[in-house]
Amino acid sequence: MRDGYVTVAGEGVHETEVNRSRFLCALAPAATEQDAQAFIGRVRALHPTASHHCFAYVIGADAAIQKAGDDGEPGGTAGLPMLQMLLRREVRYAVAVVTRYFGGTKLGAGGLIRAYGGAVGAALDVLGTVTRRRLRLAVVTVDHGRAGRLENDLRATGRDVRGVTYGAEVVIEVGLPEAEAESFRAWLAGVTAGGARLDLGGETYGPG
């Protein structure tokens, strides 16, 4: 697994204008290719009278899935520069849709490439990105008497609490940087007087 990746901070839209053509770049996180395609469909539905809905998405921390579409613009002038902008910024698990309202002036191939790639770059700048780093899942099992205080301590110290399950005992899932696993074990023993059990699980990604 990669140590981390960048993705978009959330859904949003940013508009740019080139020679009276409007370019609305919609960005969204996308965990799967299905999520990306669903978002593209939603954007199309919001702008039924637009000239084009070009798209690009990158799925996977290692960019295993990369797709782009020109939606009627000359081949390679829209979706590809959008995709290249996402890859250049090392953005993953994200989808971009640029909706164009034609302004009456043709931009030419070079102009289109700059406009579509630039729309994505500007949207990333304005809407923002977040870094996800590689984490080890830690499962903490503790009795009910200690659980509330422990959960508060975990959150107060900025730990990535993934979930809390109440049963015969309380199970708290925490995301840990790999290098902190042993220091966390010592911290946990200290705050619970040895009353909690720690099991290290698989890897995931969380806030950087």
Average pLDDT over residues 54-66: 94
Please check the confidence at residue 163 and state whether its pLDDT lies above 70.
yes
| Core vs surface per residue 78-116: b (16+ CB within 10 A) or e | bbbbbbbbbeebebbbbbbbbbbbeeeeebeeeebbebb
Please check the confidence at residue 77 and state whether its pLDDT lies above 70.
yes
Measured in Å, how far apart are the chain's first and last C-alpha atoms?
15
Name 68's bridge partners: 56
Tell me what pLDDT residue 128 has.
92
Please check the confidence at residue 28 and state whether its pLDDT lies above 60.
yes
Lowest mean pLDDT among 41-45, 176-180, 181-185: 176-180
Tell me what pLDDT residue 3 has.
67
What are the chain's domains? 4-127 (3.30.230.30), 132-207 (3.30.70.240)
Q: Is 167 helix (H, G, I), strand (E, B) or coil?
A: coil
Tens digit of pLDDT for each residue in 104-124?
A: 778 889 899 999 999 999 999
* 171 contact partners, CB below 8 Å, separation of at least 6: 139, 140, 141, 164, 165
Q: Is 137 helix (H, G, I), strand (E, B) or coil?
A: strand
Tens digit of pLDDT for each residue in 87-105?
A: 999 999 999 999 999 887 7
Computed from CA positions of residues 190, 195, 196, 198, in that sequence, does the dihedral angle turn out positive or negative?
A: positive
Tell me what pLDDT residue 48 has.
93
Tens digit of pLDDT for each residue in 61-73?
A: 889 999 999 999 9
Average per-residue pLDDT for the chain: 90
pLDDT band at 2 (very low <50, low <70, confident <90, very high): low
pLDDT band at 197 (very low <50, low <70, confident <90, very high): very high
* 53 burial type by CB count under 10 A (0-12 exposed, 13-18 middle, 19+ buried): buried
Please check the confidence at residue 180 and state whether its pLDDT lies above 90.
no
Determine the Cα–Cα distance for residues 123 and 21; give it in Å rounded to an integer. Answer: 16
Q: What is the DSSP letter of 20?
A: T
The reported pTM is 0.70
Tens digit of pLDDT for each residue in 31-40?
A: 999 999 999 9
